[in-house]
Structure 1
Amino acid sequence: NGSGKTTTMKLLLGLLLPTSGEVYVFGRPATDVSKNERIGYLPEESYLYRFLNAEETLDFYGRLFNMPRSVRRQRVADLIEMVGLTWAKKRPLKEYSKGMTRRIGLAQALINDPDLILLDEPTSGLDPIGTREMKDLILRLRDQGKTVVMCSHLLADVQDVCDRIGILYQGELKELGRVDQLLAMRDVTEIRVPRMSPDAEAEVKAVLAKHGLEILSWGNPTTSLEHLFLRIIRESEEHPGLRVHGRGDGHADRN
């Protein structure tokens, strides 16, 4: 908490101005409001009109994007079905649970069919079923070719849905890279059979057979995102000022 996740989101949206540096989205300054037509945003707390129902809520936001009525009606129906609220589409939002509110909030963020989707703590306050449903929706958006940027301190959720992560601590970027690469334990060897020389294979099989064991894999097993996070925090506390700098090629240098 307080590391700068929500602040980063607001900088991307142009709701806050950076004290130094520049922020660009789609090649345009973040302060260019017109670029927000291609962005969907789910804040940590959804600020929706509680006296409207799901259909009215999405129709209202569709009007803000000047969507034609026929397009708007179809989009509203598709999104309500997508987030699993068809059964409650006529109920006012004041009667919605936290999980239902998060789902209609996500639908609202998608009304304009955005290219970039910003999700601030999308699973906050959800029960395990609601959390799983939200993560499945995020994965569906990714599969549709959307760019999804989410921030969360629920590390298991991040590990489940994210391809790349950045770790913020006290306002500084401490790590950046692909999840599978960052979680790989480089000092542990994992073996998968076959693909060994005949002599080596025979020796290994003999040893394993003696102990009643079987080789299942060979490579670099992964640690957990939680373990990686805590290690980076410990390193940061031991070496204040340690930062990561992206190189623009999906990798990062730390210094």
Structure 2
Amino acid sequence: MTELLTQLPPAPAVWTSGLRKRYGRRQAVDGVSFTVGRGEVVGLLGPNGAGKTTVIKMLLGLVRPDAGEVMLLGRPGADPRSRARVGYLPELFRYQPWLTATEVLRLHAKLAGVPADLDTLGVVGLADRAGDRVGGFSKGMQQRLGLAVALVARPELVVLDEPTSALDPIGRADVRDLLLALRDKQVAVLLNSHLIGEVERVCDRVVILDHGRVAASGTLPELLGRGSLRLRLDGVTAAAEARLGAFTREADTFVVPIEDPAAVPRLVADLVGLGVRIHAVEPVRMSLEERLLTIIRDGEAA
């Protein structure tokens, strides 16, 4: 039996079923269910008021759900031990301004009951400011410190609520690299962000909330559909049209559905071999922002 148990895959980092929360007359969260696998980066998207932060707070025991279940790292969400290996960066936070970055990290390590890993300050780009008082930090530097605090206990799950809201482009790129590094270490990440481009770059899956419900979820290919290829061509013969297959055309521009991006070089080579002059090749796919807006507008029209 023990050998069989060791062969079972680990429980998901996050498992939720039927989460509900009402504030007065407003149903903030209405039957939300989703999972985050180990080593997976999942983006939580939706307009303001969609219920994203409330869902995060219910996951972490900061808000008690009216109904539904939560499991974190294989333990019931109500069990304090379930959060021992969870790192959290809230959207709004403040640290004692009279403390240095090192002192803040040591304080939170002590609260978590783990040794202080001061190398975390280097991971978030604050190694040279470790001895400076937090009161003199810019918003971006405080955001970096918040990330360090979220990582100080070497968590297996990291929950980030708007982690790049105060960061410049370099800071956002640093956070993106950090998330990819966490994924490589099999650390699960739940990311709530309004910066859709960042979500599109790093997330394995996306959960879209609207009016407290899951409006859509899945991998980016599942949500965005297959891509297309826009080609500006000259000298297209009947044989070239047959090689293109199904296409739409406007003047010298052809749009061809593409199932596998790896097939594009072969298509281009075949067209050249058929005497077609190729002036431009451009991949086309619906962006995550366009998909999000479509889902929200369809929900408003329903």
TM range (shorter): 0.7 to 0.9
Conserved in 1, the CA contact under 8 Å of 2:91 and 2:163? yes
Between the two structures, name the one with larger relative contact order (CA 8 Å, sep ≥ 6).
Answer: 2
1:89 to 1:58, Cα distance in 2 relative to 1, 3 A: same
The answer for the alignment partner of 1:86 in structure 2 is 127
- Select 2:187's aligned residue among 126, 146, 151: 146
TM-superposed deviation, 1:172: 1.1
Conserved in 2, the CA contact under 8 Å of 1:185 and 1:221? no
Conserved in 2, the CA contact under 8 Å of 1:193 and 1:216? no
The residue identity in structure 1 corresponding to 2:169 is: P
Conserved in 2, the CA contact under 8 Å of 1:83 and 1:103? yes
The residue identity in structure 2 corresponding to 1:213 is: I
Cα distance between partner residues in 2 of 1:66 and 1:159? 35
Conserved in 2, the CA contact under 8 Å of 1:192 and 1:215? no
The residue identity in structure 2 corresponding to 1:189 is: P
Matched, 1:40 2:87: yes
TM-superposed deviation, 1:206: 5.7
Conserved in 2, the CA contact under 8 Å of 1:102 and 1:122? yes
Cα distance between partner residues in 2 of 1:129 and 1:235? 35
The answer for the alignment partner of 2:51 in structure 1 is 4
Deviations 1:49-84 (A, max 9, x none): 2211111111111111223xxx42xx11x1011111
Cα distance between partner residues in 2 of 1:117 and 1:59? 19
TM-superposed deviation, 1:222: 2.8
Deviations 1:156-207 (A, max 9, x none): 11111111001111111101001133223468513624279xxxx86x4466
The answer for the alignment partner of 1:230 in structure 2 is 293
Cα distance between partner residues in 2 of 1:123 and 1:135? 9
Please show how residues 12-161 of structure 1 align to structure 2 within 5 Å.
Answer: 12-67=59-114, 71-72=115-116, 75-76=117-118, 78-161=119-202
TM-superposed deviation, 1:34: 1.6
Cα distance between partner residues in 1 of 2:201 and 2:221? 11
Conserved in 1, the CA contact under 8 Å of 2:85 and 2:155? yes
Cα distance between partner residues in 1 of 2:196 and 2:142? 22
- Of the structure 1 ranges 35-44 and 23-32, higher mean CA displacement relative to structure 2 is found in 23-32
Task: Kindly report the root-mean-square deviation, in angstroms, between the aligned alpha carbons of the 2 structures.
Answer: 2.3
The answer for the alignment partner of 1:194 in structure 2 is 266
Conserved in 2, the CA contact under 8 Å of 1:98 and 1:125? yes
Classify the secondary structure of the residue corresponding to 1:102: helix
Higher helix share: 1
Conserved in 1, the CA contact under 8 Å of 2:160 and 2:190? yes
Q: In percent, how many aligned pairs have the same letter?
A: 39
Classify the secondary structure of the residue corresponding to 2:206: strand
Per the normalisation by structure 2, the TM-score is: 0.68
Cα distance between partner residues in 2 of 1:103 and 1:49? 15
Cα distance between partner residues in 2 of 1:65 and 1:84? 22
Classify the secondary structure of the residue corresponding to 2:69: coil
1:189 to 1:215, Cα distance in 2 relative to 1, 3 A: farther
Conserved in 2, the CA contact under 8 Å of 1:189 and 1:221? no
TM-superposed deviation, 1:214: 6.9
Conserved in 1, the CA contact under 8 Å of 2:75 and 2:81? no
